[in-house]
Amino acid sequence: DSGVTQTPKHLITATGQRVTLRCSPRSGDLSVYWYQQSLDQGLQFLIQYYNGEERAKGNILERFSAQQFPDLHSELNLSSLELGDSALYFCASSVESAGEAFFGQGTRLTVV
Amino acid sequence: GQQLNQSPQSMFIQEGEDVSMNCTSSSIFNTWLWYKQDPGEGPVLLIALYKAGELTSNGRLTAQFGTTRKDSFLNISASIPSDVGIYFCAGYDLSGNTPLVFGKGTRLSVIA
């Protein structure tokens, strides 16, 4: 158990819908990262937050947004969902903005 | 952005054999991390490296931070069936201001 908690574990939704994925980092970790992993693909960086502020942004679609709350948990919002958004979405956390990052179990999103 | 080239893409080995995989970057890194991912699970951190030339072991796993700061190696000795999975290298560049970037992974299959 990495200490990073992601909910829900599975999500099935229809095209055009909006979903919210939640991540609770390890206790004491200030940095949260979001990654997308499509079938048999690598980990694509989406966005990073550090202590509530956006730290770095990857190739995140405009339909996607995220935030980190004062209690340091983070949410990834995906809207106007398309079939191609079906993937595993991982959250990771680390103490500092650059250090050992620990991953959650992921949310498997299926868009039908 | 940074590119991490990880090789080989896949490996098929006999149980008991040693395994080597490596990762090279287009820029200087100050941290290298090695992860293992089982199907449908989140990546699990295996080894973290912070200094050029550093050699670190975790059981049968040994990883090295290359002296050029642009590469890292992971060796697995005496492979066993549970070593099956995808191994990812990841790292931060020297500035520490960029997100954790991942290689595309090495898929390891162990034949009993």
* Predicted local distance difference test score (pLDDT) of residue B94: 66
Cα separation, B6 vs B97, in Å, equals 22
Q: Which residues are CB-neighbours of A61 under 8 A, at least 6 positions away?
A: none
Beta bridge partners of residue B58, listed in sequence order? B61
- Does A104 contact chain B (CB < 8 Å)? yes
Q: Helix, strand, coil proportions of chain B in percent (round to 5)?
A: 5, 55, 40
Cα separation, A84 vs B16, in Å, equals 40
Convert the pLDDT of each residue in B92-103 to its tens digit. Answer: 876 656 688 899
Is it the case that residue B27 has pLDDT exceeding 70?
yes
Amino acid (1-letter code) at residue A12: I
Which residue from A86, A92, A88 is spatially nearest to A56, judged by alpha carbons? A92
Chain B residues touching A35 at Cβ < 8 A: 102
Which residue from B49, B38, B48 is spatially nearest to B86, judged by alpha carbons? B38
Chain B residues touching A48 at Cβ < 8 A: 99-100
Task: Say how many Å lie between the first and final Cα of chain B, rounded.
Answer: 40
Inter-chain touch B104–A58, beta carbons under 8 Å: no
List the pLDDT tens digit at each of the 112 positions of chain A: 889 999 999 999 999 999 999 999 999 999 999 999 998 778 999 999 999 999 999 889 999 999 999 999 999 999 999 999 999 999 999 998 778 999 999 999 999 9
Inter-chain touch B33–A103, beta carbons under 8 Å: no
Residue A54, Cβ neighbours under 10 Å: how many?
Answer: 12
- How would residue B26 be classed by pLDDT, with cut points 50, 70 and 90? confident
Is it the case that residue B37 has pLDDT exceeding 70?
yes
Which of A56, A58, A90 faces B42 most closely, judged by CB atoms?
Answer: A90
